[in-house]
Structure formats: structure tokens, C-alpha cells
Structure 1
Amino acid sequence: MANAASGMAVHDDCKLRFMELKAKRSYRFILFKIEKQQVVVDKLGLPTESYDDFTASFPVDECRYAVYDFDYITDENCQKSKIFFIAWSPDTSKVRMKMVYASSKDRFKRELDGIQLELQATDPSEMSLDIVKERAF
């Protein structure tokens, strides 16, 4: 396990699953949560799952980190893919939880080599598919 400056460890499984998403496209998305002072995998989304399935996976009142493999077609008709990192921090979550996630985010993100875009969201509208599409192009 990697040890963070904030005292937050990153479970090896997080990096392993991320590499599988990036290299083999084994998953459409991965949700991560902080549990007992370490970041662990919370949920793996199958390659067949939609963006709606992804957004429905977030708890309403708890913070999460997530990565999403977004496929799209360019104006030149080329198939492309970008990996989004999403920091989910709903207004309804506890202040302490928001602080822990905020202070550990950059360190955790550095562990995942290959993230292309980042979104911060406090409610579902801030990570809508339209926003993701807009950022990807």
C-alpha cells in the first residue's frame, strides 16, 4: 500500500483495478471510498453499464472518488476514449468527510496514472453527461 502525506493509504487493489480499466477496458467505471484511513475500491462498473448506471452508483450523502472511461466519436468520425476522475462531495455529506476527501484527493489522483480530465461535483447536475461530453471535446 502506498502511504500518503495526509496519513491516507491507497490500497494496491485501487491501482490494479485502474490499470485494468485503462489497459484492458475491463470496467466502465470504478468508485473508490475512504475506509479506515485508506482508499479502497467501492464498486466496479461492467463495460456494458451506462453513464446513468454510473451516476446512480454514487451515495446521496457520502463522498466518493471515481474514474469513468468515456467513449465518444470525434467530428472526424474517430472513436476516442478519455478517463475522467470525479471527486463527489455532496452538500449533504458530513463536513469532516468532505475535508478528508478534499485533503487526500490530489495524492490519490497521482497514484492513478492516466487520468485525462477531472470534475468536482456536489450534486448530480455538476457531472451530467452533457458536461462530460463538453469537457471531452
Structure 2
Amino acid sequence: MANAASGMAVNDECKLKFRELKAKRTYRFIVFKIEQQEVVVDKVGGSAESYSDFSASLPADECRYAVYDFDFTTEENVQKSKIFFVAWSPDISKVRMKMVYASSKDRFKRELDGIAFELQATDPSEMSMDIVKERVF
């Protein structure tokens, strides 16, 4: 259903894939893009893929939304995972694209229940593993 403010619809596949990532841990990450006024799945990363595979899947010149299921071990030696959201908006992407993604982000994020935190990044250094770990712990 389209949002009146942003005019953006969310494809059902986005919610389905996210639920599979969250409940079944089928995927490590999902990359979403906006296509013809609708958020759609762009890429999915299998459970064996790494954070560098995830980073490499984001285009250098186009905006994307993404979620990543981050596994970690607490100080008490307990295995845990947190799903985080990335709003990817490279400096060299088109201004209109950046505006569309920025105005639709909160609406889209509300569709994905279970996100621990959000990173906004304009280049890979803003979503480095160090920053992720800082946010998780």
C-alpha cells in the first residue's frame, strides 16, 4: 500500500524475505531498492556470506536500503545476533534518488519489525565492522 507522504509502496516479497531472515536465518543480508514507486528486493545474501560480501553488494553510485543479521558473542560467552538497518546513500548518487530514499526510509523501516539499530552511510567507512561492533556492544 502506498504511503501518501512518500507515494512509496512496499512489495510483499520485502516483508517475506525479512521474516525469513529473522525467523529462519535463511539469509545473512537483504538489499532493497526503489523501483517504479515501490520498494523491492534487490539482492539476498546466503547465511554463509560475510560482512565484506554485504558491503560489496551495495552499489557505489546508487542508494539502497539493507538489513544485515550480525552474529556476535557477548562477554558472558553467549551467542547472539542483532539485525540492523542500513540507509545507503553514496555522495555521488543523484540528488533526486537521495531525496526519494530519505523521504521513504522511516515508512519502509516500520514494515520491518525487529531492527536493533540503524546506520546511515554515504561511503563504506561509515559502516565499517568497527562501527557495527560499537553499536552492538
Shared fold (TM-score greater than 0.5)? yes
What do residues 68-88 of structure 1 show as CA deviations (whole Å, max 9, x unaligned)? 000000011000100000000
Letter paired with 1:22: K
Corresponding residue of 1:14: 14
The answer to whether 1:128 aligns with 2:128 is: yes
Letter paired with 2:40: V
Compute the displacement of 1:3 (Å).
2.0
Identity %, equivalent residues: 79
Compute the displacement of 1:17 (Å).
0.2
Corresponding residue of 1:39: 39
Letter paired with 1:71: D
* Aligned counterparts, 1:1-137, within 5 A: 2-5=1-4, 6-137=6-137
Cα distance in structure 2, aligned partners of 1:93 and 1:7: 21
Cα distance in structure 1, aligned partners of 2:37 and 2:85: 20
The normalised TM-score by structure 1 is: 0.98
What do residues 78-128 of structure 1 show as CA deviations (whole Å, max 9, x unaligned)? 001000000000000000000000000000000011111100000000000
Compute the displacement of 1:60 (Å).
0.3
Cα distance in structure 1, aligned partners of 2:57 and 2:3: 26
Cα distance in structure 1, aligned partners of 2:3 and 2:135: 29
Cα distance in structure 2, aligned partners of 1:73 and 1:3: 39
Compute the displacement of 1:21 (Å).
0.1
Cα distance in structure 2, aligned partners of 1:129 and 1:56: 13
Would you say the 8 A contact 1:4–1:10 is kept in 2? no
The normalised TM-score by structure 2 is: 0.98
Cα distance in structure 2, aligned partners of 1:57 and 1:93: 16
Cα distance in structure 2, aligned partners of 1:3 and 1:110: 13
Query: Which aligned runs of 4 or more in structure 1 are off by greater than 6 angstroms?
Result: none
RMSD: 0.5
Cα distance in structure 2, aligned partners of 1:59 and 1:135: 24
Compute the displacement of 1:4 (Å).
1.7
